[in-house]
Amino acid sequence: MAAEPPVIPGAGEARRWAAEELSKQEYRDAAPSWLDSLWRNFLDWLQSLDGSPGDAAPVPSPVIALVVAAIIAAAIILARPRRNARVRQAKDVFERETALAAADYRKRAEAAAAGGKWGDAVVDRFRAVVRRAEDRGVLDPQPGRTADEAARALSVPFSSESVRLSRAAATFDGIRYGNGVAGGRDYQEIVELDTVLDAMKPATAGTGVALP
């Protein structure tokens, strides 16, 4: 059976294909400003191909297809590291440039709460929970640990608080890396969790027996 010839788009079809691909959110979020300008110029060029035949010599369809493929490939290559950088950033409970003790995070949280900045207060209080666990040796310090990972790890020695730990981690992620909004009740829940964990003796992994 003879192979079907490849589909070569015309100017209008090429513009539609490229527009559909590059309109995806990941490209808009990750594209540098110069790529935005290049894309706009490219669309203007494709639009100019719709002029009358006497305006200029027609551009062969294969050339149009190659240019479209090159633009899309460039967008994918440039978008990937920026998207990955956002993912890496989202793994961090702590700000990499800041190294504070649990007491310092609590003070920042209290100051934010006093000013009605509940989102900041929740974020710093959750950090206080994790840092305090590290200071006590319950968790090994681990750069890049996510809030979920911290909650799961703490749910082993503090199994009775696993639900509240999971909820606190979800609240942290929603505020820090999403569009979540916190209130006074959210902050008070994490304050209570921090207080309870600080007073508890962690259980030995796999035994359920509290450490002395």
Looking at residue 31, its pLDDT comes to 52
pTM for this prediction: 0.56
CB count, 10 Å around CB of 116? 10
Name the packing angle between helices 184-199 and 118-135 (round to 10°). 10
- Beta bridge partners, 203, equal 210
Contacts 24+ apart (CB under 8 A), 66-73: 67/14, 67/42, 68/9, 68/14, 68/17, 68/18, 71/18, 71/22, 71/38, 71/39, 71/42, 72/18, 72/21, 72/22
Looking at residue 17, its pLDDT comes to 63
Looking at residue 58, its pLDDT comes to 54
Question: Among positive and negative, which fits the CA dihedral 132, 133, 136, 137?
Answer: negative
pLDDT tens sequence for the chain (212 residues): 555 555 555 555 666 666 666 555 555 555 555 556 666 676 666 666 555 544 555 555 566 666 666 666 666 665 555 554 444 455 577 776 567 999 999 999 999 999 999 999 999 999 999 999 999 999 998 888 899 999 999 999 999 999 999 999 999 999 988 888 899 999 999 999 999 999 999 986 544 444 43
Residue 206 Rama label (left phi>0; alpha psi -120 to 50; beta): left
